[in-house]
Structure 1
Amino acid sequence: MLLYRKFSPLYNLGFFYLIVSFILRIALFFHPITQSSFGFFDSIKIFCLGLISDIFVFILAGGFLWLYLVFLSNSKYLKSYGYIIFGILLTLFADVLFFNTILNEYGGAAPEIGRSFIGLKTVLFGLLLFLPKYRGKIRFWLFSLTIFIYVVCILQNAISEYLFWNEFGVRYNFIAVDYLVYTNEVIGNIMQSYPVIPIFSGLFLVAGTFTYFIVKRSKNYLIEIPTFLEKIKLSGIYIGLFLISLVVIPFLSSKENSQNIFTNELQSNGLYKFYLAFSNSELDYFKFYKTLPNNDAFAILKNQIPTISDASTLRNIKSEVAENKKNVVLITIESYSAEFLKLYGNEQNITPFLDSLASQSLLFSNLYAVGNRTVRGLESVTMCIPPTAGESVVKRKDNKNKFTTGSVFAKKGYNVKYIYGGDAYFDNMEDFFSGNNYGIVDKKTFTPEEITFSNVWGVCDEDLYKKAIKTMNLEAKEGKPFFNHIMSVSNHRPFTYPTGKIDIPADAKSREGGVKYTDYAMREFFKMAQKQSWFKNTVFVILADHCASSSGKTELPMDKYRIPAMIYSPDFVEPRIFNKLMSQIDIMPTALGLLNFNYQSKFYGQDVLKTDYKPRALIATYQNLGLVKDNVLTIISPKQQVKQFGLTVIPNPKMGADFQIMFEEKLLEKRRTDLVNETISYYQSASQMLKEKKYQK
């Protein structure tokens, strides 16, 4: 057989992909939303460069098929080592079936997925090994199934791209990435918006038909499986094309430089655009959201923050009394909803220490997290900025040398550190904090003796807090004040923790166990801290990074953003309840105010204890950006959409008036234009500040 014919599964499937991509490009070209005329050269770019891009993208996407084909052989079933391979697979399957593995540590659906995959692989290998008479038929149907999956994915992607264009007039961007994050909401939306059953019935029927023809033209590969030497030659050619693709695809993307946005979008490949959305993690506010003239946006913002300059949040913060350079320890707790605390009506007694500490602290009873992921919480307490569209600044490329809480403390002569129980490489934390001049203490800095328990996310909170105490003792000897930001990890799936610490068994792997162990570990931390020389000269700021869950009946369910927050410092901060509405971005400016710091600020967050503070909160997902004010929730979304909901408390007699967390969100028929404009002013100005690099330190 000629060597090129042994590429038949790849080039037949590739030819199908190119036809589908061409038809999709034609459909988008003539789509009513594509309100543009194209010149001759624009059309050449769209279809010629687009075709070349599609070819090289398929070469990359065909990698899994190439791996499958390379490992097809008869020899492993004819030799004794076939039984050895089968024995290894059986052992591996028994291990994941009956014992705890890294999959169990990760939690969620990972164990079931792992067992299913390894179990299926073991069964199929056994059938091919022990039923040589049926080996050809079994392999044929497995080959057909593999091609069918590829065909379904190609058609599914084309349908998805068309529907996405129908909504937004662009190829995939960060909104598409967002759709993967919010799977439940998106599937629900699709089920309600489109005739899903007919679409998928048609999809599988068409996919089956094309699979039949592709398999018919490609089964020569099964009839005469290439020899080992031929596979080496084929792999050499494929790897060469693969490496060329890695260079050519970005080069072609750089040629998407027309003044006509539609030309650029039609020329591009949707799959590569999806990859770029993952990499860049940004959503262009000015392209997708309702905007105001720039001067108007900052003028409206100035009503909320009176001392800001004309087109910036820059202002001077001045105190009438002397600065107090106490140590500051900021503790952000993983996934800790307000509803876990007894104060907010919980009757499980899973936060006894925090309930007690709250009564000794300045407690912010009406504080809302800005988002629903750790990186959003870290961004809010570090940069004190609204949650701009797309991914958090923590995960963006332009995330360094920003104006941060740490930069304010560093300018005052403080040691500044980020202390984390996991690997700070995760979620780009190391890049962000080191790029903003924080020293980093993470799992990599722990000695084996300092780790008594760990899981996939990092060391347990007790080990983390012991390391923090050691770190602060060393800092105290330097004679400089310190600001340390501690991020906990234990209250996270799989909710594993050391045995014998709390009355909920460690092997229960329950959310309640994770919450209670986190509370227990914090109690032990404060027991240790109270014995240290620096304790009386330290202010502790304690709050959650986000709630345990964010799903609800509305785009931004209020109860899923309410978090506990308090500032504790015996003999310095008077215990009381502050019940005005506020945002997570306000907590650190308020702490700086308690220390009477004089500094130049760019923070959107404010000292809520000042008399000119106007209560409001900012809450958001990746694309729905909200402002809570005057019992109204205003949400701005892509496609210049705006919604407003009236907020009415759903009273719970088990908790006080300051701790009610449930609200009925009723869509308003008549909009509050002033609140719409104020919402836009926050998010538009913050997006512009970041885009124009005005939020640098």
Structure 2
Amino acid sequence: MESINNISKRYSLLLGFSAWFILFSFLLRIVFLFWQLDEIEITVFNLLKILSLGLLFDVGVLSFLFVISTFYILLIPKRFIGSKVDKIFIYLGFLLTLLIFVFTFFAEITFWEEFKCRFNFVAVDYLIYTFEVVQNIHESYPLYILIPSMLIITGVIYFYFAKNDFFNDTFTNKISFKSRILPFVISLTVMLIYVFFVSNSNAEWSKNRYNNEISKTGIYSFFAELRNNKLDFKTFYNSISDEEAFQLIRNNLKDDNVKFLSNDYSIKRKITDSLEVNTKPNVVFILIESMSASFMAEFGNEKKITPFLDSIANKSLFFKNLQATGNRTVRGMEAVTLSIPPTPGQSIVKRPNNSNLYTISNVFKSKNYQCNFFYGGDGYFDNMNAFYGGNGFDIYDRGRGSVLSDKIKTTRHNIDDSEVTFENAWGICDEDIYNKMIKVADEYHQKKKPFLNFVMTTSNHRPYTYPDNKIDIPSGKSRSGAVKYSDYALQQMFKKAKNKPWFKNTIFVFVADHCASSAGKDEIDVANYHIPAIIYGENLIQPQKVTKLCSQIDIFPTLFGQLHWSYTSNFFGTDVLSKKYQERALMGTYLKLALQKDKIITILSNKKTNTHYNWNETSNKLKVIPVNKFELNETISWYQTADYLYLNNKLN
């Protein structure tokens, strides 16, 4: 009978590695605790809960490593234990795993700096778009420090294990096959328990988001998101009958000029404007990367980093109280293009079966417009080309060899090197993409064809680099510099456009895709969804400041109302300036879905729980209040109907 001591020595390297991982993971949690010390709720109970849940998820990560390691130990014949083959496998496996885990700890710190959370679906997306991400890391962080640091830490840990005989014990204890069965069976059992019974959502125990995030383990979160990149609404959220949900939504969408086209589960309707005239102004729509409302002087910022947007706000239809639907670019695209609330999980922009939907291009094309989409990077990123190409837009992007699917019947134009003056990881600078847009506008003006030019910008994004000598903040230094350059580029575009013959018959729309940061301690950080939206048209749009609470999904329906267009709508958004408009905003994260009505916020959770809050705008804090049944059902109806229409192919 082999002694427990001899058996354990064969596994000493695995056990030692596990102790190291738990220690480093614990230290990382402490770092995050101090990082958000002003935001988290620290009590003895909360601290114990964070650390105990953290340990639970750490063990979950190790359970997968144990299965792989104990399976190898189980299979290798006794006579080969300590052989060259055994040593090669164990040395390489140990070093590779150690380096990956060390890299993960570094990556978690940089990810937290950007998103204030553990790895989530964003990290999963970034795994797909390696070129942009690797370039962004290279341009944003001092790799000449980070890479040597990771190698040094890996080397020090390896030296410790070697010096303390972990390798020697592993190679010299030739335990029998029978003694290796139980460790493998235990490891497999624990891993299966985690696979089937331990969800990443088990960490969602607190109303304070930071408490929840620090409780998690980055690697576990990453693979959890990899498995669950979409969520069926009725499976994960409280629901009501489809009949009641659609009745509530149709009541919200009613107006004097609205006629629903069917009585089934649908929101498709005919909007008729009694003042309709045959006006077809060009539309230049700019979706600005990460432009929070808080950057503008109009909202109290004193840094003077948006002088152009501030100057034009008073000459425009200016939305003072408009909320983004989400915290990613694809959410902003989804909101303005489909005019739909954020469905749980991935944005429709990135989902399958997202072509031939009813989008703003259908309205413009019914008026004989040419629709163009411009992006300064490779539109393969975030599935932009497939989405816009599959929904009526010609594509202008900085393609790097990726091609459109044969199923997408559209024209793709590459932006040539000769048209580029500056480029970083995410694409060409805003000035360059605007110059391309103006060139295309000239072409369609000569053809006497009205156009919708939809531009997605890239400059206001880490690594915050842009052409030198344009503004008084050096490139690559700060978000403020990127914001000021983005504003500067808009101003230059506007100056050039003013000299064009098509300018006086063109409406310019400036909207942010999302805020620079949406993370906060609450489930939904309401203030960090506030974005600017401006509709400008010289002698075409009557300037006014709109103070009504509204959403990104309302931008184009409001524009169509200003143009006095009659059109078919399958949109959840409505004309904010209508007398029957009901104020509300729809906001979501990957898992949380919210409805804001004045200062009341109702949030739906994927664990079939709901919370009702009163929002204090001054302190930006949420206070739990009793649930209002009607407002809860109304919140559910917005998201349930959107999910229903997508799943049943009724968004066309």
Calculate the TM-score normalised by the size of structure 1. Answer: 0.65
Partner of 1:218: none
- Is 1:295 matched up with 2:243? yes
Matches within 5 A, 1:460-499: 460-499=429-468
Query: Does the CA contact (< 8 Å) of 1:388 and 1:683 recur in 2?
Result: yes
Partner of 1:453: 422
CA distance in 2, matches of 1:481, 1:594: 17
1:267-311 C-alpha deviation (Å, 9 max, x unpaired): xxx99886443xxx3101010111111111111112211244441
Partner of 1:51: none
Query: Does the CA contact (< 8 Å) of 2:267 and 2:570 recur in 1?
Result: yes
CA distance in 1, matches of 2:189, 2:620: 39
1:639 deviates by 2.2
Instruction: Name the SS for the 1:564 alignment partner.
Output: strand
1:420 deviates by 0.7
| Counterpart among 255, 265, 268 of residue 314 in structure 1 | 268
Query: Does the CA contact (< 8 Å) of 2:527 and 2:617 recur in 1?
Result: no
Structure possessing the higher radius of gyration over alpha carbons? 1
Instruction: Name the SS for the 2:251 alignment partner.
Output: helix
Instruction: Name the SS for the 2:540 alignment partner.
Output: coil
Partner of 1:399: 354
| Counterpart among 364, 371, 376 of residue 409 in structure 1 | 364
Report the AA paired with residue 575 of structure 2: D
Residues 135, 501 of structure 1: CA spacing in aligned structure 2 closer, same or farther, 3 A cutoff?
same
Matches within 5 A, 1:37-56: none
Residues 140, 564 of structure 1: CA spacing in aligned structure 2 closer, same or farther, 3 A cutoff?
farther
Partner of 2:638: 682
1:418-475 C-alpha deviation (Å, 9 max, x unpaired): 1011111111111111111211101132222211111101111111111111111112
| Counterpart among 223, 234, 237 of residue 286 in structure 1 | 234
Report the AA paired with residue 249 of structure 2: L
Query: Does the CA contact (< 8 Å) of 2:136 and 2:426 recur in 1?
Result: no
Residues 591, 373 of structure 1: CA spacing in aligned structure 2 closer, same or farther, 3 A cutoff?
same
Instruction: Name the SS for the 1:498 alignment partner.
Output: coil
1:32-72 C-alpha deviation (Å, 9 max, x unpaired): xxxxxxxxxxxxxxxxxxxxxx99x969x99xxx9995797
1:649 deviates by 3.4
1:481-535 C-alpha deviation (Å, 9 max, x unpaired): 101110110000110111111011114x201001001000110000111111111
CA distance in 2, matches of 1:413, 1:649: 44
Residues 135, 526 of structure 1: CA spacing in aligned structure 2 closer, same or farther, 3 A cutoff?
same
Residues 104, 388 of structure 1: CA spacing in aligned structure 2 closer, same or farther, 3 A cutoff?
closer
Deviates most, 301-310 or 475-484: 301-310
| Counterpart among 475, 481, 488 of residue 513 in structure 1 | 481
Report the AA paired with residue 436 of structure 2: K
Deviates most, 459-468 or 404-413: 404-413
Partner of 1:628: 596
Residues 191, 441 of structure 1: CA spacing in aligned structure 2 closer, same or farther, 3 A cutoff?
closer
Give unpaired runs (5+ residues) of structure 2.
Answer: 1-9, 15-63, 73-84, 93-133, 173-182, 400-413
Matches within 5 A, 1:223-242: none
Matches within 5 A, 1:107-122: 107=140, 113-117=146-150
1:574 deviates by 1.2
Partner of 2:305: 350
Partner of 1:384: 339
CA distance in 2, matches of 1:390, 1:573: 37
Residues 110, 383 of structure 1: CA spacing in aligned structure 2 closer, same or farther, 3 A cutoff?
farther
Partner of 2:623: 666
CA distance in 2, matches of 1:274, 1:574: 46
Query: Does the CA contact (< 8 Å) of 1:490 and 1:518 recur in 2?
Result: yes
| Counterpart among 597, 604, 612 of residue 572 in structure 2 | 604
CA distance in 2, matches of 1:421, 1:491: 12
Residues 69, 373 of structure 1: CA spacing in aligned structure 2 closer, same or farther, 3 A cutoff?
farther
- Is 1:366 matched up with 2:313? no
Instruction: Name the SS for the 1:506 alignment partner.
Output: coil
Query: Does the CA contact (< 8 Å) of 2:208 and 2:521 recur in 1?
Result: no
1:630 deviates by 3.8
Residues 117, 385 of structure 1: CA spacing in aligned structure 2 closer, same or farther, 3 A cutoff?
same
CA distance in 2, matches of 1:384, 1:317: 15
1:666 deviates by 1.4
Report the AA paired with residue 439 of structure 2: K
Partner of 2:108: none
Partner of 1:305: 253
Query: Does the CA contact (< 8 Å) of 1:103 and 1:114 recur in 2?
Result: no
CA distance in 1, matches of 2:362, 2:190: 47
1:121 deviates by 7.4
Report the AA paired with residue 466 of structure 2: Y
CA distance in 2, matches of 1:407, 1:187: 42
CA distance in 2, matches of 1:417, 1:691: 27
1:631 deviates by 2.4
1:188 deviates by 2.3
| Counterpart among 212, 218, 224 of residue 189 in structure 1 | 212
CA distance in 2, matches of 1:104, 1:296: 48
CA distance in 1, matches of 2:428, 2:382: 17
| Counterpart among 161, 165, 190 of residue 197 in structure 2 | 165
1:323 deviates by 3.3
Report the AA paired with residue 271 of structure 2: I
1:596 deviates by 1.8
CA distance in 2, matches of 1:535, 1:681: 42
1:82-115 C-alpha deviation (Å, 9 max, x unpaired): xxxxxxxxxxxxxxxxxxx946644258665434
CA distance in 1, matches of 2:364, 2:500: 22
CA distance in 2, matches of 1:329, 1:102: 30
Matches within 5 A, 1:639-654: 639-650=607-618
- Equivalenced residue count is 504
Query: Does the CA contact (< 8 Å) of 1:364 and 1:579 recur in 2?
Result: yes
Partner of 1:94: none
CA distance in 1, matches of 2:449, 2:154: 60
Query: Does the CA contact (< 8 Å) of 1:103 and 1:110 recur in 2?
Result: no
Instruction: Name the SS for the 2:302 alignment partner.
Output: coil
In proportion to residue count, which structure has more helix?
Answer: 1
Report the AA paired with residue 231 of structure 2: L
- % identical aligned pairs: 40
Residues 475, 607 of structure 1: CA spacing in aligned structure 2 closer, same or farther, 3 A cutoff?
same
- Is 1:613 matched up with 2:581? yes
Q: What RMSD in Å do the two structures reach over aligned CA positions? A: 4.0
Partner of 2:514: 546
Report the AA paired with residue 576 of structure 2: V
Calculate the TM-score normalised by the size of structure 2. Answer: 0.69
Report the AA paired with residue 286 of structure 1: K
CA distance in 2, matches of 1:327, 1:67: 70
Residues 516, 271 of structure 1: CA spacing in aligned structure 2 closer, same or farther, 3 A cutoff?
closer
Report the AA paired with residue 604 of structure 1: F
CA distance in 1, matches of 2:581, 2:359: 21
Matches within 5 A, 1:144-163: 162=194
1:663 deviates by 3.7
Partner of 2:385: 430
CA distance in 1, matches of 2:86, 2:514: 41
CA distance in 2, matches of 1:67, 1:460: 53
